[in-house]
């Protein structure tokens, strides 16, 4: 059973993404039919989740092409695979995938704060650092994973009878949780920046004035807080990026064009 080969074939084609999702679902179903060994299906669900998330760095917006080169194609694979697994009684895949995603990128749930008695090394592990990984590499990886997360939440299934099991309401909940949670520079600014870059078009279309009010809250309340937390050039960079994004979004009434790469080829 191979998961790597289909995932390596992802292109900007909707049809190809659908074919890959079906191949991966077939593999999970084979594991499901392997007999009374639930650990086998759990193993394949985790292994597949890790292979999908390993492609997270490729989902970061391309600096030269200005588009999300793989995020939306991979998001469609995830949505179809997730919906298909639920439909065929493999509900454990969703829990496994979200659990693996949270371990790789805790920002999909919240901005973790350092707890009393926690060492700097322990905190690095809590927020997903890998060993002696440099901050630039880490931030690039987190951006890619957050972009994938935002793409998944706004991706619509091509089949009207198969809705996205983790849709845009999750993005709205995530936004509220981030606004009301811990604020740690530069991670809060980076997380919100990726969400706005990838998901603001869909959120504005779905939530209208509510989304504009959320942008206003970021501008009047959150950004001043983050400015007081600034300690490094990285903090300042992400503060400036988020400030510019919010200003542009508000000037456009919250309605920004869809991100490049959101519309897949046939």
**Please, what sign has the CA dihedral across residues 199, 202, 206, 209?**
positive
Distance, CA of 90 to chain centre: 22
Q: Residue 46 has what pLDDT?
A: 94
Residue 163 Ramachandran class (φ > 0 left, ψ -120 to 50 alpha, else beta) = beta
Q: Enumerate residues 6+ apart whose C-beta is below 8 A from 83.
A: 157, 162, 163, 164, 165
Q: Enumerate residues 6+ apart whose C-beta is below 8 A from 176.
A: 214
Token couple for 69: 């080169």
| Cα gap 98→156, rounded to integer Å | 19
Taking alpha carbons only, the member of 209, 205, 210, 202 closest to residue 179 is 210
Taking alpha carbons only, the member of 148, 151, 146 closest to residue 203 is 151
What is the arithmetic mean of pLDDT over 195-206?
A: 93
pLDDT tens track for 45-97: 999 999 999 998 889 876 555 555 689 999 999 999 999 999 999 978 999 99
Write down the pTM of the prediction: 0.94
Q: Residue 257 has what pLDDT?
A: 83
Q: Which of 36-40, 43-47, 121-125, 221-225 has the lowest mean pLDDT?
A: 36-40
Cα 4 to Cα 50, 65, 143, 149, 162: the distances in Å are: 10, 26, 22, 20, 25
Q: Residue 68 has what pLDDT?
A: 58
If one counts every other C-beta atom within 10 angstroms of the C-beta of residue 250, the result is 14
């Amino acid at each position: 059973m191979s998961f790597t080969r289909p995932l390596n074939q992802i292109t900007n084609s909707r049809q190809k993404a659908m074919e890959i999702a079906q191949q991966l679902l077939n593999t999970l179903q084979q594991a499901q039919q392997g007999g009374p060994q639930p650990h086998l299906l759990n193993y394949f669900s985790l292994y597949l989740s890790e292979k999908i998330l390993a492609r997270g760095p490729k989902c970061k917006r391309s600096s030269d092409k200005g588009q999300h080169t793989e995020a939306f194609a991979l998001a469609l694979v995830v949505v179809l695979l997730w919906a298909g697994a639920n439909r065929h009684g493999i509900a454990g895949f969703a829990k496994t995938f979200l659990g693996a995603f949270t371990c790789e990128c805790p920002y999909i749930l919240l901005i973790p704060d350092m707890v009393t008695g926690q060492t700097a090394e322990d905190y690095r592990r809590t927020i997903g650092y890998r060993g002696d990984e440099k901050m630039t590499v880490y931030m690039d990886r987190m951006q890619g994973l957050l972009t994938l997360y935002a793409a998944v939440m706004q991706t619509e299934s091509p089949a009207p009878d198969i809705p996205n099991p983790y849709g845009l309401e999750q993005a709205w909940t995530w936004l509220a949780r981030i606004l009301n949670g811990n604020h740690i520079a530069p991670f809060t600014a980076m997380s919100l920046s990726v969400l706005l870059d990838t998901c603001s078009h869909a959120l504005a279309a779905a939530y209208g004035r509510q989304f504009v009010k959320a942008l206003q809250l970021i501008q009047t309340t959150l950004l001043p807080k983050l400015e007081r937390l600034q300690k490094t050039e990285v903090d300042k960079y992400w503060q400036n990026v988020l400030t510019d994004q919010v200003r542009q979004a508000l000037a456009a009434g919250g309605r920004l064009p869809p991100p490049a790469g959101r519309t897949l080829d046939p």
